[in-house]
Amino acid sequence: MSPPTRARIESFSSQKRVHAASLIISLFGDLILPRGGRVWLGSLIRLLQPLGISERLVRTSVFRLAKDEWLFSETLGRRSDYLLTPSGKRRCEDAARQIYAAHAPRWDHRWRLILVLAPLAPQDRNALRRALFWQGFGALDEACFVHPGADWSAVIDALMAEGLGGVLADLLPLLAADVNLAGMAAGNADFVSRAWDLRELAGAYDEFVAVYTPVLEQLRGGQQVAVDEEDAFLIRLLLIHDYRRLLLRDPELPEALLPDGWPGESARLLCKALYRRLMPPSERYLDRFLCTADGTCPSPDPTFRTRFQPDDPLTAL
């Protein structure tokens, strides 16, 4: 039987359909952005090859990401580097604030609401919903979006970056200290249940914990030598990729608004504990195989090592 690390890698590699573009964004956000944010296409192909992702699929995926304004290329001689666009970088940085958070968000017991005051064209309405969903907002209906802690200036920046500056005049932000102000007399729990369906997300968190707990157990107790540098890199990439995909669906509600026994906190602590064990060998692997078009390997920004600081008891497991 394969050890848990190898089993996770083999499980991913055996998928009939891999969303390589999404995996590449995870790779940029966690591993490439701290090292200058650029990578030679040949190096990118080499990094993903052990997961069974072909050169053709990598090339097709980066072309699509460039078309969707996630990435852009810079040519140096016969080689090309790929970098995040300003919009792509902002999205990765927004995700990073959630992924590497030291603790669950606090709540000031005030709701942030955005009301749509005028009918929008279908294209603008759908784009607005997607952009606000990315910011963690739930929808009470097509004209009212809600969040327990969003910063309005950050929301404006996000909407502007998505090309939605033209709809800002039709939006009214409100701050409600009591759900009754939003027409909800039944209480916060009912307010949450109307805006978000957390049942499917809870199941996904449970599955994440079930997949990665055996991996952590393999690395616990000084057994890190059983995992080589390549496997450490691949597991780190898959760990953050899977966790990022969960957070994209997670409104990151404060603990006071979550049901008892919410598995999102267990998943966060598990991800944190496993990540810190994988960091040293995976960074050594990047030192060998990550390079830019000029052949150099950028050093990591020292600040990235503050990710997942061990301030939780479970990180000592």
What's the confidence (pLDDT) of residue 315?
43
Whether 215 maps to a domain, the answer reads yes
Q: Which domain holds residue 101?
A: 1-106+197-317
Token pair of 26, please?
């995870």
Whether 184 maps to a domain, the answer reads no
Whether 260 maps to a domain, the answer reads yes
- Asked whether residue 137 falls in the same domain as residue 283, the answer is no
Per-residue pLDDT tens, the chain, 317 aa: give them: 578 999 999 999 988 788 899 999 999 999 999 999 999 999 999 999 999 999 999 999 999 999 989 999 999 989 999 999 998 898 888 888 888 876 667 788 888 889 999 888 889 889 999 888 878 898 888 889 999 888 888 888 888 878 888 889 999 888 776 454 445 444 677 778 888 888 889 999 999 999 999 999 998 865 444 689 999 999 999 999 999 999 888 888 888 888 888 999 899 999 999 999 999 999 999 999 999 999 999 998 877 766 766 554 444 44
- Asked whether residue 240 falls in the same domain as residue 161, the answer is no
State pTM to two decimals. 0.83
Whether 14 maps to a domain, the answer reads yes
Tens digits of per-residue pLDDT, 144-164?
A: 999 988 888 888 888 887 888
Tens digits of per-residue pLDDT, 80-113?
A: 999 999 988 988 888 888 888 766 677 888 888 8
Whether 181 maps to a domain, the answer reads no
Domain count, the chain: 2
Whether 241 maps to a domain, the answer reads yes
Alpha carbons 261 and 265: distance in angstroms, whole number:
9
Token pair of 212, please?
């990665």
- Asked whether residue 158 falls in the same domain as residue 60, the answer is no
- Asked whether residue 136 falls in the same domain as residue 39, the answer is no
What's the confidence (pLDDT) of residue 308?
67
Q: Is 199 buried (19+), middle (13-18) or exposed (0-12) by CB count in 10 A?
A: exposed
What's the confidence (pLDDT) of residue 102?
65
- Asked whether residue 119 falls in the same domain as residue 158, the answer is yes
Pairing of strands 79-84, 71-76: antiparallel
Residue at a domain's end among 176, 207, 232:
176
Q: What share of the chain is helix, strand, coil (3-state, %, to 5)?
A: 60, 10, 30
What's the confidence (pLDDT) of residue 177?
64
What three-state secondary structure class fits 170?
helix
DSSP class per residue in 300-317: PPGGGGGTT-S-SGGGG-
**What single-letter amino acid sits at 179?**
V
What three-state secondary structure class fits 127?
helix
Residue at a domain's end among 176, 209, 232:
176
- Asked whether residue 148 falls in the same domain as residue 21, the answer is no
- Asked whether residue 212 falls in the same domain as residue 296, the answer is yes
Phi, psi of 43 (to 5 degrees): -70, -40
What's the confidence (pLDDT) of residue 259?
85
- Asked whether residue 96 falls in the same domain as residue 204, the answer is yes
Whether 187 maps to a domain, the answer reads no
- Asked whether residue 295 falls in the same domain as residue 266, the answer is yes
Residue at a domain's end among 176, 208, 232:
176
Whether 192 maps to a domain, the answer reads no
- Asked whether residue 225 falls in the same domain as residue 301, the answer is yes
CATH number at residue 168: 3.30.70
- Asked whether residue 39 falls in the same domain as residue 152, the answer is no
Alpha carbons 53 and 21: distance in angstroms, whole number:
11
- Asked whether residue 168 falls in the same domain as residue 247, the answer is no
Nearest C-alpha neighbor of 12 from the set 209, 307, 238: 238
Count other Cβ atoms within 10 Å, centred on residue 12: 19
